[in-house]
Structures are given as C-alpha cells and as structure tokens.
Amino acid sequence: MKTYKITLIRGDGIGPEIVAEAVKVLDKAGEKFGFRAEYAEALMGGRAFDETGVPLPQETIDKCLDSDAVLLGAVGGEKWDSLPGHLRPEAGLLGLRAALGLFANLRPAKIYGPLKDACPLRDEIIGDSMDIMVVRELTGGIYFGKRGRETVDGVEAAFDTEYYTAAEVERIARVAFELARRRSGRLCSVDKANVLESSRLWRETVIRVAADYPDVELNHLYIDNAAMQLVRNPKQFDVILASNIFGDILSDEASQVAGSIGMLASASLGEGRLGLYEPVHGSAPDIAGKEIANPLATILSAAMLLRHSLNEEKAADAVEAAVEKVLVDGLRTPDIYTEGCKKIGTAEMGDAVAEAI
C-alpha cells in the first residue's frame, strides 16, 4: 500500500477543528483507494509564537520539507495583533511559502448548485453554476520589489516596484497552461500591458509559452476589464492567470462572486509536488470550540492536496463528489444554512462527507 507523509499545521482559532475533519476525510479516501497517510504535527502562527517565541520554528520548516504535502488550518487572531510584524502569525505563513519555494497560488471559485442562492449575481448572469480557477504568482511582483520612502523637494514620498523576470513569468504561466489543458482548454492572462512595462514582459512571455500549448486557447485582458468582466459574465472564464497583485485582487473578487467563503479552498505549489493547502477563510477565534465552524473549505483543500501533490485523482474526485452530495442532501453548517435544510455541526459535516465517499 502506498504511504504518503503529510504535515499537519492545525494553526489557531478554528484551525484544529477543521483540520481534524479533513484528516477524517483523507483517511476514508485512502481506505477506499488503496493508500494511507502518515501525519506529522507542526506549529505555525499564534500558537507557535506562544510555545516557541516565533511564528515559524525551523523544526516546522524541516518537517514540511520532509513531507509530500502540508495541510494548514488557519492562523492569526486578535490575541497576536499587537505583536511586531515579523512576529505576527501571518509572518509565519509568508515565511513558510518562501522556505518551501511556493510560487503558484491556486484559488478555485466554484458555485455549487445547492448553494447558488448565496451568489450575489442574478440567475441570468451566473446560470446554473460557476467554476473558475485563479492562478496567482505568489513570490514576485510589487509585493517583493524594491520599496522605500524619501523626501523630494520637501514632500514625503513612497514607492513600491513591480518587478518580474521572464523566468518567473514563464514558470507560473506553465502552471496555468497545464491546468487549463486538464480543464476546458481555456486560459485568460491578465495584465496592464497598455501602461506597465512589467506587464508587457508578462504578456510577451505568456505568448511565447503558449506556443508549447497549441491545444489551449489563450486570450488577454487588462486588469480593469477583467475585474469588470468577472461580475458581468463570469462564465466566460475557466483559468485566469495573473501577477501577484492582480491575482490577489481577482481571487478575492471571484471568492465573493462564489458567495460563501466557507467553501473556498486554495493550494500553493512550487517546482516539485510538495504543496501547502489551506482554506481561504481566517481562523475565526470567536467561534472556536463551538462546533459550528464549516470544515468544507479545508476538506476541499484536502481534495486539492490529493490531486496536485499525491496524484490521487480518483480520490480527489471522490472527495469533491462527496461534498456535492452532502450539500444536495441538504446538510448545512450554520454559515451556509438556509430554511428547509438540516443544520449540523463541524464534526457531523466531516462524518457526512467521509461516509459519502
């Protein structure tokens, strides 16, 4: 039987609760599809600071590097908001992404039929469903370029530099093209090439890479038009490729179009198969321990883990189908509850998904 090493970072707030349900589902998938997972526990975020004095201990990095995949709950909370920036829980997450060389962020935005009413767009716009994958470059661009402050003619000024190399663009483009090839064969690359030199390099590089993917239909949109089109006609999109800052904006917009943040998964990938998988939502410390947190985003993140790091496609499909089934059956945690459905708790939802596999 195949054995995979998975590092669990349960994190803060509701993190431990939702990770527990994802583990339950992973174990059930392994039982059905002939593999098993060995789990290693690691600390990151606020709990790591409380126990070790830093948000990302070296031991955690070492464990993650020695694993096939990393599953993260959520980090952060008001308890640690007053800490200096380099000691805050979020600094641990940024540090881990850098240490693992994770440059590609995958953010699916999917509307499940039973939850369509949560979408803020009209039925004639959204249709029966929506399934978009935003591929965001994660380690370059304006968030990592040169920055500073200065005084010019007695006036305070600040600058942040958008900087990309062709190699950085090419590697994220190939991730997006490969995904598009496995989906509907459509890719939209977003830039601002009419104004920004960095975007001109971005577009030129993406066009060059496209020659290796003749089976993928490529089109380009400027960021302002892409943001508008995402709410005007989201069904025109399948895979969206964007720089760090543009991807940050569009993935958040897409998540709101999808309607329920409790359903949104994500993956951060690098050159190899090692990836970091986490729900998009935060740690929600106000509801921690109340057995009302929605574990489905973490469970769907686990499905991405199965697909992208473990290459267990059938198991990933089964987990996603199980999530769809429990929703069709009318099971809901409080955040997605509507009248006529059955309200259940965190562990009950995990049990239901595991049983549906």
Q: Among the options 12, 192, 213, 238, which is catalytic?
A: 192
- 143 is a catalytic site residue: yes
Distance CA 231, CA 105 (A): 22
Distance CA 166, CA 271 (A): 16
Distance CA 119, CA 265 (A): 17
Q: Which two tokens stand for residue 12?
A: 């803060």
- 224 is a catalytic site residue: yes
Q: Among the options 252, 325, 335, 343, which is catalytic?
A: 252
Q: Which two tokens stand for residue 207?
A: 């066009």
Q: Among the options 50, 224, 286, 317, which is catalytic?
A: 224
- 342 is a catalytic site residue: no
The answer to whether the beta carbons of residues 12 and 89 sit under 8 Å apart is: yes
In sequence order, which residues have a C-beta less than 8 Å from that of residue 57 and are 6 or more positions away?
Answer: 43, 44, 48
DSSP 130: E
Q: Among the options 110, 112, 248, 277, which is catalytic?
A: 248
Q: Which two tokens stand for residue 307?
A: 């697909």
Show the DSSP H helices in 123-184 as ranges: 123-126, 166-182
- For residue 226, which of 206, 197, 205, 246 has the smallest C-alpha distance? 246
- 164 is a catalytic site residue: no
Q: Among the options 27, 39, 79, 143, which is catalytic?
A: 143
- 192 is a catalytic site residue: yes
Tell me which residues are annotated as active site. Answer: 143, 192, 224, 248, 252
